[in-house]
Amino acid sequence: MKVVIFAGGLGTRLTEETQLKPKPLVEACGKPLLWHIMQNYSSYGFKEFVILVGYKGDMIREYFANFWMYKSDITFNLLSSDSHVHETRGMPWKVSIVETGINTSTGSRLAKIKNIINEDFLLTYGDGIADVDISKLIDFHYTNSSLVTLTAVQPPAKFGALKLNGHLVTSFQEKMDNLESWVNGGFFVVNKDIFDIIPEFDNSFESDVLPILAAKNQLSAFKHLGFWQPVDTVRDLTKLEDAINLGLIKWT
């Protein structure tokens, strides 16, 4: 299975970082978000990636083009063009970069690889970090025989709650009870027949394609109760780095 990663969006809610680089290259504890995502898949044996780029896509190309050099011990002879690599620390990854345009919607980005993908595939976003058990996710997908399986997560509560008795506040609850709330956390398993479902017009995978699948009873939800952290704001990035420093992410 190939791993397809959406990495072409503008990242407008994280402009402090994305004015200079695409969001997947924003670093958490010295490593790009994209690296963290790929490392998780790699830990389950998935080494082949298709990255759908748009905004500042050339920076993602340059990152992988120079990846081996950044990880190597190397001597440069400044009197000539000679160089000598002493040791390299590359990754066993094969990476395909596909240009999908800057303002393209997610469904249309996916449609652009119709002739590249001829088998079922994994799909995720370039700005969400989670310790999803990919093997269990795939087993769940094939057990339920849906066209698409998404990973359902419980979003962290952003606000505390007030307990009221009439007009009086009786107590504060630091975190709201979110046990019944589930959202799309990404980390999909997708049947190759999805390309027959994606509309020909510009479309969103989330708003146009997934509702069609849900109406056809072809969309399953794998519940993930472990670590999940989307990175939309500087605060989110700080929370992710705190989790990495606490050792909550196993592949770092």
pLDDT at 25 over 80: yes
pLDDT at 194 over 90: yes
Q: How confident is the model at residue 204 (pLDDT cuts 50, 70, 90)?
A: very high
- pLDDT of the residue at 85: 82
- Give the mean model confidence (pLDDT) for residues 121-148: 96
* 36 is a domain residue: yes
- pLDDT of the residue at 175: 57
Residue 100: how many other CB atoms lie within 10 Å:
22
Domain encompassing residue 42: 3-153+180-245
Residue with the bigger pLDDT between 156 and 58: it is 58
* Residues ≥6 apart with Cβ < 8 Å to 110: 4, 52, 123, 194, 198, 205
List the CATH number of the domain containing 113: 3.90.550.10
Residue with the bigger pLDDT between 157 and 38: it is 38
Domain total of the chain: 1
- pLDDT of the residue at 44: 95
pLDDT at 161 over 60: yes
The rounded mean pLDDT for the chain is 89
* 251 is a domain residue: no
pLDDT tens digits, residue range 36-84? 999 999 999 999 999 999 999 999 999 999 888 877 888 988 888 888 8
With b meaning 16 or more CB within 10 Å and e meaning fewer, what string describes 112-143?
ebeeebeebbbbbbbbbbbbbbbeebbebbee
How far apart are the two ends of the chain, measured CA to CA in Å?
Answer: 23
Of the candidate ranges 41-50, 155-164, 199-208, the one whose mean pLDDT is the lowest: 155-164
Residue 158: how many other CB atoms lie within 10 Å:
8
Residue 170 near residue 163, CB atoms below 8 Å: yes
* 160 is a domain residue: no
pLDDT at 92 over 80: yes
Q: How confident is the model at residue 89 (pLDDT cuts 50, 70, 90)?
A: confident
pTM score over 0.85: yes
- pLDDT of the residue at 17: 77
* 84 is a domain residue: yes
